[in-house]
Amino acid sequence: MAWRGCVMKWAKTEFIRSTNTTSRSSRLSPHNQQRCGFRREAKRSETKQGNVTQETKASPSEAGTPGPPPRPKVPRATLFKPLMFTVGFTGCSFGAAAILQYETLKSKVQSAKEEEKSENLSEGSQDMAYWHDWWNQLSGFQRQLILLMSLVDDFWGSLTEGQRTVTGIIAVNAVVLCCWRIPLMQRSMIKYFTSNPASKTKCLPMILSSFSHYSIFHMATNMYVLWTFSSGIVSLLGKEQFLAVYMSAGVISTMVSYMCKTATGRLYPSLGASGAVMAVLAAVCAKVPEAKLGIIFLPMVTFTAGNALKALITIDAAGLMLGWRLFDHAAHLGGALFGIWYVAYGHKLIWRKREPFVKLWHDMRSLGGSRGGPGAGSAGPGPR
């Protein structure tokens, strides 16, 4: 029994050893190793993924600094209001020009009648004696001032009507140029004197930017071209009609620039009178294409106005298609096309049909004059 008990105890011990050996060998089997390895890799990946997630979530709070700010949303440009402003401003410009022409002709007729009534002059000897005594009573400073005013008056009289008309435009551009140099006015100048379809203020800058230049060279170039073609355009259209075309061209060219910027997504500010000046240049070149033009620094180089206009339009079209940003080529093209259209069709469609409007203004003036007192409603000249 003792032997049997020892044998049973030994067998039981060997069975336990064999069982442990089998379990160890089963753990080292290829199938179990692969499965265990997969489990380990899964656990590692989950651990790493969890660590990354935890680090990603915890990094902003641990660093204590906010993440990158979101990109600002660019406001979508809406062009309905600028379009309505363009149509309304163009109509008002030509209406005001027609009224201005009526009032100018009326004042000329009245001044001519007054001159006819005051033709009775005194004797020349008495007039000369009176002015001689008056001149002797003046001081030296007053005489110099009168001589200076006489020289200015002679210079002003030597200018053509077109040059006298654009002198006011040049003066306004010079004043705006000086305002750009005032630091306190920078924010207002950017808001109202630069045109940008992405800006909140779109309509008013459409006309104000046509009188705005930041660079002296930019303003000098535009004003020189305007001065050069002023005599020709005013002789073709007249002073009042020229002002209407110039103001309307500034707004229309800016509207074309708005449309191109919105279509391409390049929303950047622009300024300058180039669009309005291009309308004047294109109108003269289209009306008189055989005229000879030259370059100020190269007087020996001459070319016709028609060829110059074709070259400018080609350059601006190429700049618009290629995305050049040195100039606002869309505004240049808009002004040039408006100038060509106006001398070809616009003059007949707009200016020659102003008679009903001028007649309505004349009737309103006559009605207001008759209410004001007797003889106040004298009829003025009709439109030509």
Q: Which domains does the chain have, with CATH numbers?
A: 80-97+157-371 (1.20.1540.10)
What the block records as the tokens of 92 is 């008002």
CA 55 to chain centre: 51
Give, rounded to a whole angstrom, the gap between the first and last alpha carbons of the chain. Answer: 150
Q: What is the mean pLDDT of residues 358-364?
A: 90
Handedness of CA 157, 158, 164, 167 (dihedral sign): negative
Instruction: Identify which of 172, 311, 336 has the alpha carbon closest to the alpha carbon of residue 249.
Output: 336
DSSP SS3 for 292: strand
pLDDT of 270 higher than 70? yes
Q: Give the pLDDT score at 70.
A: 59
Q: Which residue has the higher pLDDT, 44 or 330?
A: 330
Q: Give the pLDDT score at 293.
A: 85
Q: Which residue has the higher pLDDT, 176 or 374?
A: 176
CA-CA distance, 366 to 370, in Å (whole number)?
6
Handedness of CA 174, 170, 310, 331 (dihedral sign): positive
Q: Which parts of the chain fold into alpha helices (H)? A: 2-27, 30-63, 80-117, 124-136, 140-158, 161-180, 186-192, 204-208, 216-237, 239-264, 274-287, 305-322, 329-341, 347-349, 355-372
The pLDDT mean for the chain works out to 79
* CB contact set of 32 (below 8 Å; sequence gap of 6+): 26
pLDDT confidence bin for 174, thresholds 50/70/90: very high
The residues that are catalytic are: 274, 332
pLDDT of 28 higher than 50? no
Q: What is the mean pLDDT of residues 311-320?
A: 93
List beta partners, residue 270. Answer: 195
Q: Give the pLDDT score at 179.
A: 96
pLDDT confidence bin for 318, thresholds 50/70/90: very high
- Which residue is listed with tokens 């000329």? 108
* Lowest pLDDT segment from 10-24, 86-100, 288-302: 10-24
pLDDT confidence bin for 338, thresholds 50/70/90: very high
Q: Give the pLDDT score at 114.
A: 78
Q: Which residue has the higher pLDDT, 178 or 126?
A: 178
The angle that helices 80-117 and 239-264 make with each other, rounded to 10 degrees, is 170
Q: Give the pLDDT score at 113.
A: 79
Q: Give the pLDDT score at 57.
A: 43
Q: What is the mean pLDDT of residues 319-344?
A: 92
Q: Which residue has the higher pLDDT, 324 or 31?
A: 324
Q: What is the mean pLDDT of residues 11-22?
A: 46
Three-state SS for 307-318 is: HHHHHHHHHHHH
Backbone angles phi, psi at 373, to 5 degrees: 165, 170
Q: What is the mean pLDDT of residues 39-57?
A: 42
DSSP SS3 for 300: coil
Give 29's Cβ-side CA count (13 Å radius).
Answer: 9
Three-state SS for 333-382 is: HHHHHHHHHHHHHHHHHCHHHCHHHHHHHHHHHHHHHHHHCCCCCCCCCC
What the block records as the tokens of 271 is 């300024």
CA-CA distance, 176 to 185, in Å (whole number)?
11
Q: Give the pLDDT score at 194.
A: 95
Q: Which residue has the higher pLDDT, 13 or 175?
A: 175
- Per residue in 95-146, pLDDT (tens digit) is 999 999 999 998 888 888 777 776 655 544 456 777 777 888 888 888 899 9
